[in-house]
């Protein structure tokens, strides 16, 4: 048991540091919820590679967090994500809800859907990908498989890699409404 604990502890510490770092980065951001480039650098370090899933997870997490704040959510935010895959790391970075701070649960239902709840007043938002974002994520995955099957540096592989980078760039910079749909799920009685 001690061996497993030693392997988990660095992850928990790193998640805590990432949460603080993201909180500081988000505090310095403008009122626009479009992520700053530093967020994606931190995400790549946390996740270990760049992929559409981690990017749109960050976009979903950040958009949900900003919407919940605008809706008057109070207290600690906790997240429920419905797919056990790369977007989970993006959600941790974007929403600041990590396994390390016991604010993230995952159910593997193959749905790219996040429900973010403010524990203080139980307000909730749901964030989902737009159809376009989901399609581009799938396209980047397919292009990646094709690229890996080709020799490094071949013209076809370079072209596929260029297309993948264009998709990643769009996912990082497109306006929120083109990437994420956020819905307020409840408005508890007696609140506005």
pLDDT over 70 for what percent of the chain?
79
Element (H, E) at 61: helix 52-70
Domain enclosing residue 126, as ranges? 2-186
Q: Which residue do the tokens 């016991």 mark?
A: 102
pLDDT at 16: 47
Asked if residue 145 is part of any domain, the answer here is yes
% the chain with pLDDT above 90:
74
Averaged pLDDT score across all residues of the chain: 85
192: in domain:
no
Number of domains in the chain: 1
For residue 1, pLDDT over 70 is answered with no
Domain-embedded: residue 191: no
Is it the case that residue 21 has pLDDT exceeding 70?
no
Q: Does residue 72 belong to any structural domain of this protein?
A: yes
Of the spans 4-8, 71-75, 186-190, which averages the highest pLDDT?
A: 71-75
Q: What is the CATH number of the domain that holds 110?
A: 3.30.1330.130
pTM of the full predicted structure? 0.79
Is 151 part of a structural domain of the chain? yes
**Contacts (Cβ under 8 Å, ≥6 apart) of 192:** 72
Phi, psi of 66 (to 5 degrees): -65, -40
Torsion of CA 68, 76, 185, 180, to 10 degrees: 50
pLDDT of residue 38: 87
């Amino acid at each position: 048991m001690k061996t497993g604990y030693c392997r988990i502890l660095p992850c928990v510490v790193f998640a805590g540091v990432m949460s603080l770092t993201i909180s500081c980065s988000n505090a310095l951001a403008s009122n626009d919820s479009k992520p700053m480039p530093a967020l994606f650098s931190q995400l790549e370090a946390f996740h270990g590679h760049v992929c559409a899933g981690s990017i749109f997870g960050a976009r979903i997490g950040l958009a949900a967090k900003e919407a919940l704040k605008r809706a008057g959510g109070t207290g600690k935010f906790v997240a429920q994500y419905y797919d056990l895959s790369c977007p989970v790391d993006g959600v941790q970075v974007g929403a600041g809800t990590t396994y390390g701070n016991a604010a993230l649960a995952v159910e593997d239902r193959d749905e790219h859907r996040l429900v973010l709840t403010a524990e203080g007043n139980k307000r909730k938002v749901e964030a989902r990908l737009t159809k376009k974002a989901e399609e581009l994520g799938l396209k980047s995955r397919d292009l990646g498989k094709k690229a890996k099957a080709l020799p490094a540096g071949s013209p076809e592989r370079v072209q596929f890699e260029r297309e993948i980078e264009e998709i990643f760039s769009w996912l990082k910079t497109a306006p929120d409404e083109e990437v994420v749909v956020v819905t307020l799920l409840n408005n508890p009685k007696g609140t506005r």
